[in-house]
A and B are shown apart, each in its own frame.
Chain A
Amino acid sequence: MPALGATVIRAGRRFLSSLPALFGVLVFTFLLMRVLPGDPAVFFASGPNAGKEEIEIIRKQMGLNKPVPEQLMLYLYDVGSGNLGRSMMTGQLVTKDLRERLPASLELTFTALLIALVTAVPLGVLAALRPGSIIDHGVRFFCALGVCVPTFVSGLLLIYVFYYLLGLAPDPTGRVDIFASLPPRRTGFLLIDFLFAGDFDGWWAAFRQLILPALSMALFVVAPLARITRASMLVSLGSDFVRTARSVGLPWWRVVVTYALRNAILPVITIAGIVFSTMLGANVLVEKVFSWPGVASYALDALLSSDYAPVQGFVLLMATVFVIVNLLVDILYGIADPRVTIG
């Protein structure tokens, strides 16, 4: 199929054209970290009463005594050769830390987005089919509630109800029970790895751990998704081609699904992409509440302890994810809408 090849080529070109932006992010974050107050050397010295000399030695070890432009060049060279530096907190390479933690965040965010979409799209469609009705107002109320309640509050509420009161959920610490055995790592996504290993009890346990944090994340983003679905569904239902579909006597569900919804879903794809990138980095609160070993809480801890390398690595990672997600959205859009060619 020549069209698919062309899409791939254009996607590649699009990716290349976003590299300068990534470079900008890299430099900007680096400078930002140098400007922020807090001296990592002081932080990582043996104790509060460490002497000036000891701090100086640490500074030298870390290369902080060099002028900033030189530090930047060294840093860029390291990033170019795939080295994001070493975290002072964990003592490990940042790339290793991120590689371990990113799947946890991705798994949580994917699940949350899936839950949000599965809830929001039908709600939006229902609201659009009967604008001004009880259903419409109900959906609006539910969405407003989701946005008003911060994720850490809804997270704590969910824990209180499902863990403390009902005892349905396992204790909210991490991705699996600490005594459970982990499946051999293939993708880092526990739900997938457990399936590969054929360990269905493990899968169920991991799923039970995942569902509460995913729910509290999903609650927060149901609102924008449902609202955009409703709005674009209203436009779609009022359009000329839906009237045409009715005029030739298509069955009701066919008019709604094949004609109206398929057109209305296009802006939802765009919003879902934005929502995904935001959730991945911004839901540090959920990760904290549920002790989820994700990248966002890792970056927050690093930031609090003036640990430069992990923060810079995290920002770079987020920027890259953002670029990739946008690219995916564009490709999806191109497949869903024959009028669009990405370029």
Chain B
Amino acid sequence: MTQSLLALNDLHVTFSTRRGLVEAVRGVTLSLGEGEMLGLVGESGSGKSVTGFAITRLLDAAGRVTAGDIRFRGQEITRISAGDFRHLHGAAMAMIFQNPRAALNPIRAVGDQIADAITAHKRMPRDQARAQALELLRAVQIRDAEKRMAAYPHELSGGMCQRVMIAMAISCNPALLIADEPTTGLDVTTQKVVMDLLTGIAAERGMATILITHDLGLAARYCRRVVVMEQGRLVEEAEPKTLFHAPQHPYTKRLVAASPTASSRIADLVPEEERGRQFAAPVAPRPQPAPGTPPLLEVQKLAKRFDQGAAAVADFSMTISAGESVGLVGESGSGKSTTSRIICRLIDPSEGEIAFEGQSIGHIPARDFHRSLFRKDIQIVFQDPNDSLNPRFTAFDCIAHPLLRLGGMRPGDALRQRVEECAQRVGLGIELLTRFPHQLSGGQKARIGIARAIACRPRLLVLDEPTAALDVSVQAVVLQLLDRLRREDDLAFLFVSHDLNVVRMMCDRTIVLQNGRIVEQGESRTMFDNPKTAYTRELVDAVPHIEPGLAAFAT
């Protein structure tokens, strides 16, 4: 490692947008040795991906390297011709992208795509290229590799697509591999398998790797050196251990605090010096319900079958008492979203009983439930704050809509007061109420989604991955907000999430689903500390931790 493989020197990248020039990367200097694995961590807008794309010259047409240089094997590569760069692409440096399914050509068999990547750099007959592609599919541990050669991306799972992508990237044994959020959007167990595979292959073939991620835990688990970026600048560079135990830069401190870990509590998510305001007013402990009162929600033997297919949910029973927070976890396809949608009566169950405060609501068709008196008692916060808001409604309209439809209010001063009160409770500035969703940030949109859900003072809030699309620092604030609202209003939560650390913090009890059936349930902390079933243990083990003892290096 005498000479570095890659060296960035004061790199600047600028995008020309409608609102003028925007500098996305402002002076990044870093170097990477042969075979080294570097973590590049930051939140959205930090410039981490742009740095990656600048290195491989895959920036959008609007983006340009305006200053600084990139040296690859000692050669300056920002000014070489497109034709010369083509010989580097794939052969010397390759990328693995976020969203693997979109990154593959949807109408070309995956075997052909890998063969294309091989023949781009080596002259060989098609048969031979396909034989090599098959070898690569075996190398990335795809089962039935022969059959999968002819498969199209839509026929493969996300994890499988990412393996194909890895096979393409390593097809010509590049010296540098840049993985841009390679496992974002994949299940936690799939994430572990894909990351283990990726690091294993990189180590075996001596490829230097840059892992671009928003997940500190992931970077800590797999990289020896981690670089933190904020607003286009490098703010800190250290070994994971040092970074997490003695972060120097205020931004790193905030980021480390906001990343939920197995032991963190809601209050820990904001660094000590910034705490105080939110938790000023302690809330009185919840009074015990009088004996004999029915639980807030009681679900019995719920089942859902979509036409002909296997049951999406089967034999699902649970109760939630008033003010309780229950987590629902599982991988994609486990039926957690279906269950939550049945409970908030957006779809009909095939079998089973749902009772709300002792009254059966399961028999009311989902189509008519909006007329039921219980509609305003059960509200939902959706996963994607961007797509779940009407783009033609202002923030005010969004929050006022349920009040008009369900709360029986009329437009006027009372409504305005109520909407403003809701906005204040979720920490949304009154001046933002006139804006449309596209004029707001992700965190602000999430707040609107929450304000809309609590506007009618529901008793049960179903939260479907409410923070999955948010950055960790925003997630921290939103989680704290939700927790405070729950205490203040004695709200019950059904919290659907794939993030075990978040569920552990937010929920008193947790239910683990697999293939539509309950695998295990119990008090959150106890269950995750001592899982009884193999599946729960697998889930818990797959979560990347940043604790010193658990930070096992894969390479």
Contact = CB atoms under 8 A, between A and B. Distances in A.
Contacts of B56: 247
Contacts of B172: 248-249
Nearest to A266: B107
Contact of A247 (B89, B108, B154): B89
A249 B56 CA distance: 11
A251 interface: yes
Contacts of B88: 249
Nearest to A238: B60
Interface size class of B (residues with CB under 8 A): 20 to 34
Contacts of B104: 241, 244
B106 A244 contact: no
Interface residues of A, number: 23
A259 interface: yes
Contacts of A339: 106-107, 152, 154
Interface in B84-131: 86-91, 94-95, 97, 99, 102-108, 116-117, 120-121
A247 B107 contact: no
A247 B87 CA distance: 10
Interface stretch (B16-24, B163-171, B449-457): B163-171
Nearest to B89: A249
Question: Of residues B94, B108, B165, which shows the largest number of chain A Cβ atoms within 10 Å of its Cβ?
Answer: B108
A239 interface: yes
A238 B58 CA distance: 11
Contact of B107 (A244, A249, A336): A336
A247 B105 contact: no
B526 to A, nearest CB: 43
Given A254-B116, A339-B152, A339-B154, A248 B90 contact: yes
Contacts of B87: 249
Interface in A229-264: 238-241, 243-252, 254, 258-259, 262-263
B105 A245 contact: yes
Contact of B58 (A246, A251, A252, A338): A246
Given A240-B97, A243-B58, A248 B107 contact: no
Contact of A263 (B89, B106, B121): B106
B116 A249 contact: no
A254 B90 CA distance: 15
Contacts of A238: 60
Interface in B109-162: 116-117, 120-121, 152, 154
B105 A259 contact: yes
Given A338-B152, A339-B106, A243 B116 contact: no
B102 A240 contact: yes
A240 B103 CA distance: 5
Contacts of A243: 58, 97, 103
B116 A337 contact: no
B58 to A, nearest CB: 6
B102 A247 contact: no
A238 B94 CA distance: 19
Given A240-B99, A254-B116, A339-B152, A247 B90 contact: yes
A280 to B, nearest CB: 29
B344 to A, nearest CB: 31
A248 B87 CA distance: 9
Interface in B168-203: 168-169, 171-172
A149 B554 CA distance: 69
A247 B120 contact: no
B95 A247 contact: yes
A232 to B, nearest CB: 13
A245 B89 CA distance: 10
A244 B97 contact: yes
Contacts of B107: 262-263, 336-339
A263 to B, nearest CB: 6
A95 to B, nearest CB: 42
A250 B102 contact: no
A9 B108 CA distance: 25
A241 B105 contact: yes
Contacts of A248: 89-90, 94, 116-117, 120, 168-169, 171-172
A336 B117 CA distance: 22
B58 A250 contact: no
Interface in A66-118: none
Contacts of A247: 56, 58, 89-90, 94-95, 97, 169
Contacts of A258: 108, 116
Interface in B398-413: none
Contacts of A336: 107
A254 B103 CA distance: 16
Contacts of B86: 249, 251-252
Question: Of residues A239, A241, A337, which shows the largest number of chain B Cβ atoms within 10 Å of its Cβ?
Answer: A241
B87 to A, nearest CB: 7
Contacts of B95: 244, 247
Nearest to A131: B61
A247 B93 CA distance: 8
Interface in A319-338: 336-338
A254 B104 CA distance: 15
A239 B102 contact: yes
B103 A244 contact: yes
B123 to A, nearest CB: 12
A251 B91 CA distance: 13
Interface in B45-66: 56, 58, 60
A280 B335 CA distance: 51
B61 to A, nearest CB: 9
Contacts of B120: 248-251, 254
B102 to A, nearest CB: 4
A249 B102 CA distance: 18
Contact of A249 (B60, B90, B97, B103): B90
Interface string A256-296: 00110011000000000000000000000000000000000
Contacts of A250: 90, 116-117, 120
A31 B248 CA distance: 84
A316 B274 CA distance: 76
Contacts of A262: 107-108
A338 B151 CA distance: 10
Contacts of A241: 102-106
Contacts of B99: 240
15 contacts: A240-B99, A241-B106, A244-B97, A247-B89, A247-B97, A248-B169, A249-B90, A249-B117, A251-B120, A262-B108, A336-B107, A337-B106, A337-B107, A338-B106, A338-B107
Given A247-B89, A251-B86, 12 more contacts: A239-B102, A241-B102, A241-B106, A247-B58, A247-B94, A247-B169, A248-B169, A248-B171, A249-B120, A249-B121, A262-B108, A338-B154
Q: Which 9 A-B pairs have the closest CB atoms?
A: A249-B89, A248-B90, A249-B90, A248-B117, A240-B102, A241-B105, A240-B103, A247-B95, A338-B152
